[in-house]
Chain A
Amino acid sequence: MSELFPRKQVMGFVFSLVLTALALAVYFFDMSFTVAMTLLLVTAFIQAGLQLVVFMHAGETEDKGAIYTNIYYGVFIALVTVLGTLLCMIWGYV
């Protein structure tokens, strides 16, 4: 942690740019809806995870159990809310 050159930050930044560029492929290239959505989901969640662990130092302290539990719980419930809302309002609506 006390090395001079911020290697982790630079690598993280470069990786984020790569993930962003990959996501942009859905705009610049033709692909099916499923492939595009998969690409977006994968790049988004990886980049989010990157931010969390590398930049936000989520796993660094004795509280990491609480922090990760908190994030997983939040993401899980957010997904349930998004998918459940779409189910009730659109997909499952008669």
Chain B
Amino acid sequence: MKLDHSLPPEYSTEENRLKILGFWIFIGAEIMLFGTLFASYFTLVDRTAGTPGAAELFGITPLIIETLLLLTSSFTIGLGVHAMRMGNKKAMMAFFAITLLLGAGFLGVEIYEFNHFVHQGVTLQTSAFSAILFMTLGTHGIHVTIGIFWGLFILMQLKKDGLNPATANKSFIFSLYWHFLDVVWIFIFSFVYLKGMM
């Protein structure tokens, strides 16, 4: 394996560079995945058949908390990658752990929100709007959940094998995933929640 020390560790082997490009292309596909969910959401958003809609369901407080948690987690993982490039394994792992905790917090608030919707009489089966709402938010939420487990597995590998090109590459790719989930949330925050509460 030829190591290129002029590049940051996550890019230092040919295989590493391939994996990072491959993941960017995957992100392109995910843009279309969420794009399709958004297209469906905007089409169905008013089709509540008389049941509660966006304006009745969404609350500004949980929204702000969720957004701050996720945004901050994006910041902390950025700090983690920065620490990684400085070779500081301990700081990196600490920032990654904080990121995952913030992510878990986000999920907690989202579950609370879903529960609130259900108590308002709005379930997956209630209307077209409710179905696409749960599917859109749920798809994002499942991505976050998978991310938390993935991040945990990487932390375990960092603990066991230390910081090397392979673990650096995995960590960087995970950070791309996490940042992307924040990008998707920005659009959910703006065009699902805020637009619905205007």
Q: Would you call the interface of chain B mostly helix, strand, loop, or mixed?
A: helix
| Contact A85:B40 (CB < 8 A) given known A47-B186, A67-B24, A77-B35 | yes
For A85, what are the chain B residues with a Cβ–Cβ distance below 8 Å? 39-40, 42-43
Among residues of A, the one whose C-beta sits closest to the C-beta of B87 is A2
Query: Is B79 interfacial (CB-CB < 8 Å)?
Result: yes
CB distance from B57 to the nearest CB of A (A): 14
| Contact A51:B64 (CB < 8 A) given known A23-B190, A70-B25, A89-B43 | no
| Contact A17:B71 (CB < 8 A) given known A40-B195, A56-B180 | yes
**8 A Cβ contacts from A3-19 to B:** 4, 6, 9-10, 12-13, 16-17
B31–A24 contact, CB under 8 A?
no
A81–B32 contact, CB under 8 A?
yes
**8 A Cβ contacts from B118-175 to A:** 175
| Contact A74:B32 (CB < 8 A) given known A48-B183, A55-B74 | yes
Query: Is B65 interfacial (CB-CB < 8 Å)?
Result: no
A27–B25 contact, CB under 8 A?
no
Among residues of A, the one whose C-beta sits closest to the C-beta of B18 is A63
